[in-house]
Homo-oligomer: A and B are copies of this chain.
């Protein structure tokens, strides 16, 4: 692999000059510039990013910790971020936190030791305190899908409480009173928030929360299936079920069908997130939209603005959920 030194020798100029043309940083006489470019071409020179980073003390890359690499939810979130960053010639280094504290911290450390210029953190297990401390340690980062009061200006998220509220509201508005709820893992802040919204909506409507209609799932389709089956077998009257996310709603739908029941005629169903496939579910799933693309892009803009001094004015840090009404809710 050719080095800058070889290029400089071939071109008959100094190292510094080659560096200048690589980075377009200073004026270089057109003639010398051409010589350097020729030399680079004939040598197949490619800048050593590692060396550049070490010398300049910046890596032009932002680190991103995601819970998992798979799943359409995270992919969509990442996608928006990547697009904007690429436009600005910044790179994205992705690491998975696997929803546990050890891996999450490891991922952060690893990104830091790579000297990422900034981080985007989509964490589930790590404590708020850890993040507040990280901010005090002068690490530049943005938190996605989580709101932490002490560092609110670094957070981009959906108002999950309100989301849980409007999902349940949609059911109540249609005359439902016996509403079951399948939560995500309740130790996760977003799952808890959504459930909190659900409870608020019930209370506001004067409907008592019945613990026997609540099942704690884990955001996976299988848990929705299991929860719904259990709920259905419990003998309780249920006219509608609200799920902590769409995937669990898929599983719930499956359980409902297996029981020989119909959606929404026998049971109404509502999800959360509006992931890509929800419009293909039969009947089409009514759900709360999680604006993944917007959130991903906002995170990118915040960093582009703050760290790379690009001219972005970020409008929303906390997005408002929107109910997507399709065909899975019956009016009673």
Q: A interface vs B, CB < 8 Å? A: 46-51, 53-54, 59, 68-72, 74-76, 78-79, 82, 86, 91-96, 109-110, 112-115, 221, 250-251, 253-254, 257, 276-277, 280-282
Assuming the A-B contacts A96-B82, A281-B282, A282-B281, are A115 and B70 also in contact, with contact meaning beta carbons closer than 8 angstroms in the complex?
no
Q: Is A70 a contact partner of B59 (Cβ separation < 8 A)?
A: no
Cβ of A79 and Cβ of B69 under 8 Å apart? yes
A221 surroundings in chain B (CB, below 8 A): 276, 280
Distance, CA A79 to CA B112, complexed state (A):
22
Contact of A281 among B53, B91, B112, B280 (CB under 8 A): B280
In the assembled complex, the CB of A308 is this many whole angstroms from the nearest CB of chain B, namely 17
A-B residue pairs, 8 tightest by C-beta = A70-B75, A282-B282, A70-B79, A277-B277, A250-B280, A49-B113, A69-B78, A49-B114
Give chain B nearest CB distance to A204 CB in angstroms. 32
Minimal Cβ-Cβ distance residue in B for A282 = B282
Task: Please give me the residue from chain B that is nearest to A254 by CB atom.
Answer: B280
Which residues of chain B are near A70, meaning CB under 8 Å? Answer: 72, 75-76, 78-79
**Given A74-B75, A86-B96; 19 other pairs, CB 8 A cutoff:** A46-B109, A46-B112, A48-B54, A48-B115, A49-B113, A50-B54, A50-B115, A68-B75, A69-B75, A71-B72, A72-B72, A82-B96, A93-B93, A250-B280, A253-B280, A254-B280, A257-B282, A277-B277, A281-B282
Q: How far is the CA of A250 from the CA of B284 in the complex (A)?
A: 12
- Report Cα–Cα, A53/B51, bound state, in Å: 9
**Given A54-B54, A75-B70, are A113 and B281 also a contact pair (CB < 8 Å)?**
no
Chain B residues, CB < 8 A from A253? 280
Chain B residues near A47 (CB, 8 Å)? Answer: 113
